Structure 1
């Protein structure tokens, strides 16, 4: 099936997944040639980006050959047949592949012989997984850095961070190393790096994409945890969701219903009521972020919607709420620490130095928490749910900035964090500048969409939040915005970036072949 002219890796780099899959089905492109082209691009560009931390290129080439045989035989093909993708190196597994849980040195050779749902279903749809992407230790921050691999650099400015925790995936997509990649989201980890890297990140409604975990099948609720796609187009996200969504009996919260995500892209928002909160009532927001999102929100008025600035009704201080997120998610982390200890890896003992001090502080807090503390925290969480639900009882959508600040500079010690203050107001450097985790309290569908560029060079994301289970509405609004404010031209910046990077300390580990 080899084409007359071998496809150029740079020519293929920014072709959407939907177009790649269509051209493979029409036999205009060979899966083998496509995979080889993306592998060559990764080999050339990843050393300066540090998006991939594990590669399985030999295995990917074998799957590409299988995919080509299926095309030539006339077999039924999945919607993503032959499309390259990647999974995340956190709680995301592929049989035989290393899983470091976000760059923990003691786990550099740790293997989990299982599939995460994303890997399982994206392969079923025909996609070919090339490897795993970088994330922070245990995903416990909104930046992407760790002691084992170092930071993932922002493809728009290599001195800055990609955002986290799905930072390697977002950077890879923005840099044309992949058309789509996996994100997971416990506090904004799909939407945060989507905002800083100028890509589209979709967090579905809770239960829309199954979340399968053992030994605790109920672990994805405090806060709500999600898997979803990072892409450069809304259509690619809808296509990925078509492959990922659907009932799974292993997940007690999995939704048993079908949604036509692709049809949602053709709808209109004319007559819709859209609420806009520039600060969720309580966040200090960088003025340049506010300016970009203010202007972006008005695109919906051009589409015939009514956009109104609203008070959400949140009264607690943002620092109190970021601490709440940390307390809600830390019991799951404590359980993970104990599970590894039972398996012979004592992270709080001989490997304590593998964990950042900010993380250790919260682990210690988790061991001290009482049942009464947990109940009080759920009551506080309910206040946020009621506030957001109250807005969405009156409006079709709620839009906000995705983040309160622009990308931060990378540290050189494996421990990059976000800002400690914005506009003179103290914020938690781990998560307090992320206007995303409220939606993990509530379970509503949400996306981060490229809203525009700050100072002409750094991406800014706008968060679109829908009513419970109204994923189609979020996709409709996203597609409308993409038509009115297309952002494809911004990728000229990463495409032209230097292929050398500022020095950053790490253990020197990078990509390893399976």
Structure 2
């Protein structure tokens, strides 16, 4: 195995440790991932922008910082100082580690930011998002921006700018969306960590489709300082979160991303011990397993893989009961209630962008995705009365989930109802039936999608783990137990 391939298989935690120890330089780490992008991204199409020169310059500076730390250590030692430090002690926990940013929300000043839209093919950010600032402060090096559907409006990644993104596990399949580029880049070894965002499953859908780990934190834990509107993520409880190949890396990123921010009116000062949850036994956990959230049409091959993954949680010591959620709604009623809030939130995003940049999506319809135009038209048809009525259904679902979590530490479900969505597939009217994710954007609970395994056809399946609000550490503890019981590293070979 080449050194380049060896480095791109490492977790972010391990890679950062090897950089601090001097076994690997930040430059070598960045070069290895850039080479991997050159080798594989033509087939996968994960990146919209690759920051070759900027990343290599940042890596060279990261190496100089570590060399300075080594010199200081040697100087202190010769002077007999009691302040002798281990090499790299003063650097951040992600020092020298490549980072991919979703090209929607995760802005970096001076880098192209397209929103997944051909209308913004040449747009360059003037600001850096709070979460990017926090990750860079921890030492991460931005290596590029990852593909997303236009404005993140759908659960598959395909747009008019660069086209569709494939799942590296099976390139005939779509990577899922809207954080599909980030998920595909992780699974293909193009980056060890990536950002995503989630308005209806946009972290979890692609995590399941690409066999990686995506974590939607409790609403408010990870700040969003989006401008010019700071209030555009409440209808769907939209949040940013980490995408990784390991649970340990996700816990590390959450520990760096969370915490209140003065520019986010929804951020909350809640202290969660993410990394401390990783070794926590789950012997005393009670887990409620809903195979279909009562009404979703889960395919038999997906259900079989999820059943096996749930059995692994029982093997890890948890008590698992198959349950119904008892929300009382049909699939049609849930879908009908989802339309006003989701399409209105997408219309709101387009309106904010129009105000900020003077770009009207509907006036330039020939450059805009048909599916986005259709969603904007639907959003315009819904009024305040439709949104209000959807809130009644939303409350019923929230109460039902809360009732389950009053008796159980976690609720687990499949992430997606099927695992065979083609690269250019258009789900149309079935779009709400595919992901079992969006009800938890209504409720705001923490949810992860962990790799559950592969179907007989070799298609990846995700297991969704839902925790009590602000009990994100419980989700991580169960995820880590699942990873120990059923390691998924082989998916990236």
How far 1:172 sits from its partner (Å)? 0.6
How far 1:207 sits from its partner (Å)? 1.0
Residue among 92, 105, 108 paired with 2:106: 92
How far 1:256 sits from its partner (Å)? 1.0
Q: Which residue does 1:497 correspond to in 2?
A: none
How far 1:341 sits from its partner (Å)? 3.5
Separation (CA, whole Å) in 1 of partners of 2:350 and 2:208: 30
Separation (CA, whole Å) in 2 of partners of 1:114 and 1:324: 36
How far 1:270 sits from its partner (Å)? 0.5
Q: Which residue does 1:417 correspond to in 2?
A: 426
Q: Which residue does 2:10 correspond to in 1?
A: 15
Separation (CA, whole Å) in 2 of partners of 1:315 and 1:255: 32
Rate the CA distance shift 1:110–1:133 in 2: closer, same or farther, 3 A.
Answer: same
**104-113 or 270-279: bigger deviation:** 104-113
Residue among 296, 304, 307 paired with 1:291: 304
Separation (CA, whole Å) in 1 of partners of 2:279 and 2:351: 48
Q: Which residue does 2:381 correspond to in 1?
A: 368
- Written as runs of structure 1 = structure 2, the 5 A alignment for 1:176-191 is 176-191=189-204
- Written as runs of structure 1 = structure 2, the 5 A alignment for 1:247-262 is 247-262=260-275
- Written as runs of structure 1 = structure 2, the 5 A alignment for 1:41-190 is 41-74=36-69, 76-102=90-116, 104-190=117-203
Q: Which residue does 2:280 correspond to in 1?
A: 267
Residue among 220, 230, 240 paired with 2:253: 240
- Written as runs of structure 1 = structure 2, the 5 A alignment for 1:275-354 is 275-342=288-355, 343-349=357-363, 351-354=364-367
How far 1:339 sits from its partner (Å)? 3.6
How far 1:257 sits from its partner (Å)? 2.8
Separation (CA, whole Å) in 2 of partners of 1:395 and 1:336: 36
* Contact 1:196 1:407 (C-alpha < 8 Å) held by counterparts: no
Q: Which residue does 2:28 correspond to in 1?
A: 33
* Contact 1:282 1:314 (C-alpha < 8 Å) held by counterparts: no
1:455 aligned to 2:456?
Answer: yes
C-alpha distance after superposition, 1:435-468 (max 9, x if no partner): 0011100010010011111015211110000011
Separation (CA, whole Å) in 2 of partners of 1:120 and 1:417: 36
Residue ranges of structure 1 left out of the alignment (5+ in a row): 1-5, 421-427, 493-514
Q: Which residue does 1:433 correspond to in 2?
A: 434
Separation (CA, whole Å) in 2 of partners of 1:442 and 1:82: 37
Rate the CA distance shift 1:431–1:67 in 2: closer, same or farther, 3 A.
Answer: farther
Separation (CA, whole Å) in 1 of partners of 2:488 and 2:480: 12
Higher relative contact order (CA 8 A, sep 6+): 1
SS at match of 1:145: coil
* Contact 2:119 2:368 (C-alpha < 8 Å) held by counterparts: no
**286-295 or 314-323: bigger deviation:** 314-323
* Contact 1:79 1:243 (C-alpha < 8 Å) held by counterparts: no
1:401 aligned to 2:414?
Answer: yes
Rate the CA distance shift 1:429–1:358 in 2: closer, same or farther, 3 A.
Answer: farther
* Contact 2:346 2:375 (C-alpha < 8 Å) held by counterparts: no
Separation (CA, whole Å) in 1 of partners of 2:239 and 2:290: 24
How far 1:360 sits from its partner (Å)? 2.2
Separation (CA, whole Å) in 1 of partners of 2:202 and 2:16: 27
Q: Which residue does 1:467 correspond to in 2?
A: 468
How far 1:173 sits from its partner (Å)? 0.4
Separation (CA, whole Å) in 1 of partners of 2:170 and 2:370: 27
Separation (CA, whole Å) in 1 of partners of 2:246 and 2:16: 14
Q: Which residue does 1:425 correspond to in 2?
A: none
SS at match of 1:47: helix
SS at match of 2:131: helix
How far 1:484 sits from its partner (Å)? 0.6
C-alpha distance after superposition, 1:122-159 (max 9, x if no partner): 11110001110001111111111112111001111111
C-alpha distance after superposition, 1:44-81 (max 9, x if no partner): 11111100111111111111111111111126111111
How far 1:7 sits from its partner (Å)? 7.6
Q: Which residue does 2:492 correspond to in 1?
A: 491
* Contact 1:222 1:329 (C-alpha < 8 Å) held by counterparts: yes
1:228 aligned to 2:241?
Answer: yes
Q: Which residue does 2:404 correspond to in 1?
A: 391
* Contact 2:15 2:97 (C-alpha < 8 Å) held by counterparts: yes
Q: Which residue does 2:76 correspond to in 1?
A: none
TM-score (norm 1): 0.89
Separation (CA, whole Å) in 2 of partners of 1:471 and 1:340: 32
Q: Which residue does 1:209 correspond to in 2?
A: 222
Rate the CA distance shift 1:122–1:286 in 2: closer, same or farther, 3 A.
Answer: same
SS at match of 1:298: helix
Separation (CA, whole Å) in 2 of partners of 1:285 and 1:294: 12
Rate the CA distance shift 1:340–1:243 in 2: closer, same or farther, 3 A.
Answer: closer
Q: Which residue does 1:480 correspond to in 2?
A: 481
How far 1:23 sits from its partner (Å)? 0.7
Separation (CA, whole Å) in 2 of partners of 1:218 and 1:355: 25
Separation (CA, whole Å) in 1 of partners of 2:483 and 2:143: 28
